[in-house]
């Protein structure tokens, strides 16, 4: 079984993100890490190939520094990396990103494409389903656990009302939730070996995607602003009427 895992490098979620006021893009000059959500995806891919054979390929689109995230996934155990990095793709929206990733995935031998449900920086949460649409294969989303038997993938999905069990015939796109597994740490041997593993660096032209990218993207951020400060709350002292005043307040806000 061959698995492609889509991974994104994101600003360290432990330091507050900032938007560049001129480009309206996220500032990426600080510490960057492999998206913690995608570590679950890499682990899920590795567990599938450990059980069924085959290999994991990681695919990422992003700035040149994204190489570090690809190397981390290779150190965890992925066999091959693909990084699409081109200035013309800067500012790409989710659909453009999905087109680029789908074009790169098409060039791989794959049975399952794994993503996280949403990234930790952009968190539009639509790229996985768009990739499935572009590849014309099923999307199994929000998986909490997954198993494969023959050409059938079975996943348990968390929903508001409980757990749904979903089956799909391979090939599929599978988005996994945080906590689906315990991502492994790269070993020293894995870190040393990662540098020798194959790494593809296709450009948009290699993927027949000359006319996608930032300039032609359908979605544009026209302005950014800080969220309004939270207004000070009202402290109600109990002088015999506090309960009534709280009830009136909640009724006024239409909470009750």
Residue of minimal Cβ distance to ligand FAD: 122
Nearest to 92 by CA among 189, 250, 204: 204
Roughly how many angstroms between the first and final C-alpha of the chain, as a whole number? 54
User: Do 27 and 60 contact (CB within 8 A), yes or no?
Assistant: no
Contact pick of 90, 107, 144, 184 for ligand FAD (by CB under 6 A): 90
Contacts of 179 (CB under 8 A, 6+ apart): 40, 144
User: Do 63 and 27 contact (CB within 8 A), yes or no?
Assistant: no
For the CB of residue 217, give the shortest distance to ligand FAD in the complex, in Å.
9
Selected range binding ligand FAD among 73-81, 113-121, 147-155, 199-207, rule: CB under 6 A: 113-121
For the CB of residue 16, give the shortest distance to ligand FAD in the complex, in Å.
15
Please give the sequence-ordered ranges of beta strands (E in DSSP) within the chain, or none if there are none.
3-6, 9-11, 32-34, 56-61, 80-84, 112-116, 139-149, 152-159, 162-169, 172-176, 199-200
Give the nearer residue to ligand FAD in terms of CB position, either 75 or 114: 114
For the CB of residue 156, give the shortest distance to ligand FAD in the complex, in Å.
19
For the CB of residue 163, give the shortest distance to ligand FAD in the complex, in Å.
22
For the CB of residue 89, give the shortest distance to ligand FAD in the complex, in Å.
4
With 0-12 CB in 10 A as exposed, 13-18 as middle and 19+ as buried, what is 145? middle
127 binds ligand FAD (CB under 6 A): yes
Contacts of 23 (CB under 8 A, 6+ apart): 91
Give the nearer residue to ligand FAD in terms of CB position, either 187 or 208: 208
DSSP H helix total and E strand total for the chain = 6, 11
The mark string for 39-78 relative to ligand FAD (x by CB under 6 A, - otherwise) is: --x------------------xxxx---------------
119 binds ligand FAD (CB under 6 A): yes
Give the nearer residue to ligand FAD in terms of CB position, either 123 or 249: 123
DSSP state of 25: S
Contacts of 162 (CB under 8 A, 6+ apart): none
Selected range binding ligand FAD among 111-119, 139-147, 161-169, 242-250, rule: CB under 6 A: 111-119
CA distance 112 to 128: 12
For the CB of residue 152, give the shortest distance to ligand FAD in the complex, in Å.
23
Site residues, ligand FAD (CB under 6 A): 6-8, 25-26, 28, 35, 37-38, 41, 60-63, 85, 89-90, 92-94, 97, 101, 115-116, 118-119, 121-128
């Amino acid at each position: 079984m061959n698995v492609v895992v889509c991974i994104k490098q994101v600003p360290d979620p432990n330091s507050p993100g900032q938007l560049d006021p001129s480009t309206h893009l996220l500032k990426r000059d600080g510490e960057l890490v492999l998206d913690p959500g995608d570590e679950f995806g890499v682990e899920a891919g590795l567990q599938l190939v450990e059980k069924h054979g085959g290999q994991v390929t990681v695919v990422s689109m992003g700035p040149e520094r994204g190489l570090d995230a690809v190397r981390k996934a290779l150190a965890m155990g992925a066999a091959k990396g693909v990084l699409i990095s081109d200035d013309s793709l800067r500012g790409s929206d989710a659909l453009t990103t999905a087109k680029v990733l789908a074009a790169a995935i098409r060039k791989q031998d794959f049975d399952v494409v794994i993503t996280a449900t949403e990234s930790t920086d952009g968190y539009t949460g639509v790229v996985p389903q768009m990739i499935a649409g572009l590849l014309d294969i099923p999307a199994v989303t929000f998986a909490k656990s997954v198993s494969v038997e023959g050409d059938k993938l079975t996943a348990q999905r968390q929903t508001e009302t409980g757990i749904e069990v979903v089956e799909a015939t391979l090939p599929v796109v599978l988005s996994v939730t945080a906590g689906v597994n315990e991502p492994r740490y790269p070993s020293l041997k894995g870190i040393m070996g990662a540098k020798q593993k194959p790494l593809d660096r296709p450009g948009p032209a290699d993927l027949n995607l000359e006319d996608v990218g930032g300039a032609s993207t359908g979605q544009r951020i026209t302005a950014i602003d800080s969220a309004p400060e939270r207004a000070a709350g009202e402290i109600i002292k109990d002088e015999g009427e506090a309960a009534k005043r709280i009830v009136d307040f909640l009724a006024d806000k239409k909470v009750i």
